[in-house]
Amino acid sequence: MTDSVTAQVPVIRLDPMGADHHGEAARMRALGPVVRVILPGEVPVWAVTDHALLGELVTNPSVSKDWRNWSLVQDGTITDDWPLVGMIKVTNMVTSDDAVHVRLRRPVTRTFTRGRVEQLRPRLNEIVDALLDNLPALATDGVVDLRQHYAYPVPMQMICELTGVPVEWRPRLRELVDSIFRTNTTAEEVVATQRDRHELLNRLVDLRRAEPGEDLTSALITMGEADAEALTQEELIDTIWLLLTAGHETTLGLIVNGVRALLTHPDQLTMALNGDAETWSRVVEETLRWDSPIGNFPARYPLEDLTIAGVDIPRGDAILAPYSGVGRDPSYHGPTADQFDITRPPAKHLAFGGGPHICLGAHLARLEAQVALPALFARYPDLSLAVDPAELVPVPSFFSNSAAGLPVRLA
Ligand code: HEM
């Protein structure tokens, strides 16, 4: 779909294979602070590539997060088999505004406060220790995929325990989450994923209604029986889905990216190994800035015509947030923005977004990474990459920014 706008402003097509996130982000930045982006299916949207302007956008009250305000949804261009529909058409806090947003976010907030998350530390230590014990047995010729056997199960086990997902359902759940974040899916796969995720989540709600536990799903169901502000079945299912997707794919990416950064920057690794908990916290924050696991996040829709850096964005258009890209914006992070440096004075990054939709799980994500990374290097201090860093295959996605596998040698 070409339109009159694309003839007037710089245009870029995002690579659905995510082959070069940071190169692509640098090219977008070079085109300007606001660029026209063409998504699969020739769907035109916008992206704000400048850190400061993106920070303003995410706090702008006249910009909606509700996909029902996207003109291409309203005119039927976005169909239910569009490859990216699973990231757009959901009904939960991340796609709602104002009072509805508050109603959908509030019942979940308490579980993820700093204090409540800190109480999860002992269980997290147990999970991490058991996984580390098991790694040697999973190695083939001395090589083990750390993404598969460590970075993935840490957040997956935590979020599934918090939401009451039975152990035997998790492999299918993982495939479904994987499919949602990939941007190289076919129309058939999109339709099957949407069908199967509904089926799995409805089954989960039925199970927890029949056999309530100490988990968040059971709590939301109980609240539903008592409270007029309660979530509808669709909101309930999509909220649990949001927690399962946001709570695992992102932190998995953070752990992978953190290990990759340290193994490819031996001087930084040495500082981390000789440091304390504060040093590891810097490792995590610098990884979030330098290599945020969220690449280009959809989407925001102006409720009135908007002008950003002299570019007119009509009401009802969609705008992406390139969170990993702005982490290396030199106009905000300075001329060394593209260097991984844990001694950098702490600067505010946008890896967790900002404004009313700022990441609800940031305390949990930080705790998981701050525990998983030092525990890994304490147990296996001679850890090394088993392949050349250039051979690491990226996740095929412009939403996720990480490696699809992380083969390492433990000793
Ligand atoms: C490194 C890990 C993580 C990163 C980088 C991350 C990043 C983000 C970002 C950028 C947003 C805002 C998106 C936007 O609307 O523009 C967000 C929202 C959200 N995140 Fe995270 N996240 C992470 C981990 C988690 C975890 C562990 C959870 C666990 C529950 C979680 C739950 C959520 C939820 C529920 C929202 C929606 C908040 C709202 O719309 O009000 N995230 N996250």
pLDDT at 159: 97
Write the secondary structure of 68-121 as one string of H (helix), E (strand) and C (coil): HHCHHHHCCCCCCCCCCHHHHCCCCHHHCCHHHHHHHHHHHHHHHCHHHHHCCH
Residue 187 has pLDDT above 90, yes or no: no
pLDDT at 6: 60
- Rounded to an integer, the average pLDDT of 166-182 is 92
* Ligand 1 within 6 A of CB of 360: yes
More confident residue, 235 or 3: 235
Ligand 1 atom nearest 105 alpha carbon: 41
Contact, 401 vs 292, CB < 8 A?
Answer: yes
In CATH terms, 5-409 corresponds, of 3.40.50.300, 3.40.50.1450, 1.10.630.10, 3.20.20.60, to 1.10.630.10
pLDDT digits (tens, 9 = 90+) for 215-245: 999 999 988 777 767 899 999 999 999 999 9
Identify the weakest region by mean pLDDT among 26-40, 175-189, 241-255, 307-321: 175-189
pLDDT at 181: 87
Nearest CA owner, ligand 1 atom 27:
247
Rounded to the nearest 10°, the torsion over CA 128, 133, 136, 139 is -40
Band of residue 4 on the pLDDT scale cut at 50, 70, 90:
low
* Ligand 1 within 6 A of CB of 357: yes
Ligand 1 atom nearest 358 alpha carbon: 12
Ligand 1 atom nearest 162 alpha carbon: 30
pLDDT at 347: 77
Nearest CA owner, ligand 1 atom 21:
359
Band of residue 7 on the pLDDT scale cut at 50, 70, 90:
low
pLDDT over 90, % of the chain: 87
* Ligand 1 within 6 A of CB of 352: yes
Q: Is the pTM of this model over 0.85?
A: yes
Residue 168 has pLDDT above 80, yes or no: yes
Calculate the average pLDDT of the chain. Answer: 94
Band of residue 10 on the pLDDT scale cut at 50, 70, 90:
confident
pLDDT at 229: 77
* Ligand 1 within 6 A of CB of 383: no
pLDDT digits (tens, 9 = 90+) for 343-382: 998 878 999 999 999 999 999 999 999 999 999 999 999 9
- Rounded to an integer, the average pLDDT of 130-141 is 97
pLDDT at 34: 96
pLDDT digits (tens, 9 = 90+) for 78-110: 998 898 998 899 999 999 999 999 999 999 998
pLDDT digits (tens, 9 = 90+) for 204-223: 999 999 999 999 999 999 88
Residue 2 has pLDDT above 70, yes or no: no
